[in-house]
Structure 1
């Protein structure tokens, strides 16, 4: 099931246009397929000959497939009907690993971003290198098991590895992850050695933004801010379909936006940072202190909310106010076409997204329409999709190997 590295070497002189055209054709089929070659030409502005050349390569690479059962002759056009092209979602897969605090997530996705395999891996309270050691032992076994499961017969092109904090995607390095206790962890090198797959590493907020650009709201391709709220609080920005990386390893540090009225001490030494005021740790600790749940656990608090516990509801709404204020500040600074929130309760219940939007509308000085603020669309699969996004993003941007 092992794949090959794609697009890791610098393009040869004169081949940039071929690579760009192939990416344009592949993206048009992702968005509009099944679609005939003539349709791809109209959609992209590429000549029929250019579309035909790129299609030959993409079919050979098993990225596209022809759909003869959908062929229909155009009225008044002689000759054989064109065979519609579609993304080949049956022969290839990409793998992903999201490294979180209470648990990590392993996944396999097809080329349309649909989840084939998703498995949560409890970290068992481990921190530091102990988390990494367990994952390096387990991920190869999961890949082997997938070869006989739902992904049987598929070739895995690569492994994405994402986590919170400061991540240097170019070096494949987790620079800093405070809750995990990671510093300068060479994640790409270690996972490539363990799995034999090419590995792409990124921050999970940037990976979620990349997934939204690939498979989500079309507005994301114009400009977007993604806010991730969990045990770690991270933000990312994309413009014109490109997720901003930032020198050298972080888009920015939205987790240290000030939260008025908060006195919680952050790991940075200051008080009132968003990364503490809005974090899962803070929310779950408050729920335990008030007797809402017996231990700090997301599923327990979700169950309490769904059971109608007013204390649970009040705690979640308090966080919604904090998050809404932070999003208003981000929107006023960046003024994006779209704001995407990845936060457990806003995804699970529209009432909590409405509470975030209400505070956003109240706090935004630009008075933007709160409907630009949406919950991420991947639901329970969000971390699985994010984990695979670094590989899928590179595939769709640079689909031709050997450059």
Structure 2
């Protein structure tokens, strides 16, 4: 549970009508997420709202399935009576959001509860497809996937995230080079297939928002998140707000120079971080050295886990490159927190230590590497990214999200059989 709370009091001046109702509901939900189970009176103190306003919002949020009362937790013998002292908590049993993380080798589909816990995830192979061919089988299967919501929960939204440049306001994938996407109207395509409101975002921004909602307390002050997979992306947040720059990108760290790399980037230059640190380069190097028969994630992971010294050397070399990039980002931004999402730092703390050592050696401003952590969701990291876009919308405007959402398409009589695949790491 997060113990440090950003002020939940509504900001931006007086609000009226539905807008004020949603702002107040979001403030109450935030306080309960951070401190629940918590009494209404305590919520009023945390948010700055009147007890009557808190009570109205709690009634709405209970009716909509986001909160529930916990009378069994009222302390005995305290003499506390009445609803102001009745604990309320987030209800994780009635609604869910769905998410899709669309990467190069496979797509992760997941259900998450309102606290960001992954209820179910599965991986769907993209079978080498690129362009719109990636989406055709996914759009066909989506109604059946949504029909398998755990324990009969109501699915209230769908998030879809991927790498590259994403215009989340228009639901548009502006550019994703490995998938060969340009100006793809992903939100509209998914909404037509699912019947749900769809939120689309870049995966690094989505994971940054998830960290703010459910992760390290320092994330609400300022943080930088670096995602390393088949693409390399970063996101920045200050005061609990994820930055989105003009024309939709947060920024582009993919073309930071790696001095001793001569690999050719798609931009036409050599030595860009996007190629020097990418999964594609790593797996191709493993095949070239005979560690694996061909560039293959599963085979390379197996070699690393078996202790192959050649595989270990390649991973450590990439960890050093990542550490240098993070040192530069830290020196430029000076954040309270750095979060890394990368396969091997998640699998083995020894590789995170390599990143931290190189970071401390290279940074001019932050010699202490304690601000650098690996993303903490482990095997569920892509599932969390997938659902985070939908959860962000739900938490920001809970009343609007739950009263305006259309119902999904009727379920198929043959829902897919859930399974829990082994962890394969970030891959976009």
Which range, TM-score by smaller chain? over 0.9
Choose 134-143 or 340-349, whichever is displaced more. Answer: 134-143
Match of 1:258 in 2: 257
Q: Does 2:359 correspond to 1:352?
A: no
Q: Residue in 2 aligned with 1:101?
A: 104
Q: Give matches, 1:196-215, under 5 Å.
A: 196-215=195-214
Q: Provide the TM-score with structure 2 as the length reference.
A: 0.88
Say whether 1:142 aligns with 2:145.
Answer: yes
Per the alignment, residue 122 of structure 2 pairs with 119
- 1:75 is paired with a residue of what secondary structure? coil
TM-score (norm 1): 0.93
1:152 aligns with 151
Matched, 1:34 2:37: yes
- State whether structure 2 residue 63 is matched by structure 1 residue 60: yes
Could you tell me whether the CA contact under 8 Å between 1:37 and 1:85 is conserved in 2? yes
SS of match in other structure, 1:85: strand
Taking a change above 3 Å as real, the CA distance of residues 225 and 41 of structure 1, as seen in their structure-2 partners, is same
- Provide the residue aligned with 2:244 in structure 1: 245
Q: CA deviation at 1:73?
A: 4.5
Q: Is the 8 A contact 2:40 2:84 kept in 1?
A: no
Q: Secondary structure at the match of 1:234?
A: strand
In the alignment, which residue of structure 2 is the partner of 1:333? 332
User: In 1, are the aligned partners of 2:118 and 2:383 still within 8 Å (CA)?
Assistant: yes
**For 1:164-184, what per-residue CA distance to the aligned partner results, in whole angstroms no more than 9, with x for missing partners?**
001000000001000001111
Secondary structure in 2 aligned to 1:180?
A: coil
- Counterpart position of 1:286: 285
Separation (CA, whole Å) in 2 of partners of 1:335 and 1:78: 48
Runs of 4+ in 1 over 4 A off after TM superposition: 11-15, 76-81
CA shift for structure 1 position 75 = 2.8
Shift of 1:25: 0.7
- Where does structure 1 lack aligned partners over 5 or more consecutive residues? 1-10
Partner-residue secondary structure (3-state), 1:107: strand
Conserved? CA contact 1:166–1:175, under 8 Å: yes
Conserved? CA contact 2:70–2:88, under 8 Å: yes
- Is contact 1:106–1:139 with CA below 8 Å preserved after alignment? no
Following superposition, the deviation at residue 261 of structure 1 comes to 0.8
C-alpha contact 2:167 2:248 (8 A) present in aligned 1: yes
Distance in 2 of aligned mates of 1:80 and 1:331: 47
User: Which among 87, 91, 94 is matched to residue 84 of structure 1?
Assistant: 87
Say which SS state the counterpart of residue 256 (structure 1) adopts: coil
Q: Tell me, yes or no, if the aligned pair for 2:225 and 2:235 is still in contact at 8 Å.
A: yes
- Where does residue 379 of structure 2 map in the other structure? 380
TM-fit CA distance, 1:397: 1.1
CA distance in 1, matches of 2:226, 2:179: 20
Q: 1:15 to 1:347 in 2, by over 3 A?
A: same
SS where residue 290 of structure 2 aligns? coil
C-alpha change, 1:286 and 1:87, in structure 2 (3 Å) is: same
